[in-house]
Chain A
Amino acid sequence: AQKITQTQPGMFVQEKEAVTLDCTYDTSDPSYGLFWYKQPSSGEMIFLIYQGSYDQQNATEGRYSLNFQKARKSANLVISASQLGDSAMYFCAISIMDSNYQLIWGAGTKLIIKP
């Protein structure tokens, strides 16, 4: 069965510093996708970045990058030059391709950026 683990329940980071949010996964499927979402206090879920299991290069999207280490089954999110608006919950998820498409979600990490 697929599983996502986020070991950091909460993090405090100084504004303008880089931050790494950890995510490890477990799956027996050779083909899968890894996603990161941001959830501000307003409650909406905002898609940030995607990494496919066969992608050779680490995904990047503006200040977001994904440190994908397939052998270690980790997909850490790196946010460069953090901003106050980055304060939110961050969720890692893995897609499974069974008869009913769905994402398996991690428990989330609460990130607080300090001014």
Chain B
Amino acid sequence: SAVISQKPSRDICQRGTSLTIQCQVDSQVTMMFWYRQQPGQSLTLIATANQGSEATYESGFVIDKFPISRPNLTFSTLTVSNMSPEDSSIYLCSVLRQGIGELFFGEGSRLTVL
């Protein structure tokens, strides 16, 4: 199984600022995914990050708000830009295990915007 480290694990931020979340995987993976989980809700896919190409964003999410980097096969970042209280969520990085298609998740980054 893949080991995924996310940083920060939690943060409290001021409205209008930006925060970058890092995701480090202990092995090379092709597909990395960024999810958002708003309080009391299920998971919503923000984007798929593939190394060497632009991230693919889901409906309702745009690059200006959630820029993503994927410089190599073991690392990715998600930035939450110009934050508002509505951005308060858990942000989860995940990777795909080839075979059955199981997703491994990082510990999540719990973001609170004041």
Contact = CB atoms under 8 A, between A and B. Distances in A.
Interface residues of A, number: 21
Given A91-B42, A107-B42, A42 B107 contact: yes
Q: How large is the interface on B (under 10, 10 to 19, 20 to 34, 35 or more residues)?
A: 20 to 34
B108 to A, nearest CB: 4
Nearest to A99: B56
B103 A47 contact: yes
Given A45-B92, A100-B56, A50 B102 contact: yes
B45 A108 contact: no
A43 B107 contact: yes
Given A45-B94, A46-B105, A103-B45, 10 more contacts: A33-B101, A44-B106, A44-B107, A47-B102, A50-B102, A52-B100, A91-B42, A100-B56, A101-B96, A107-B41
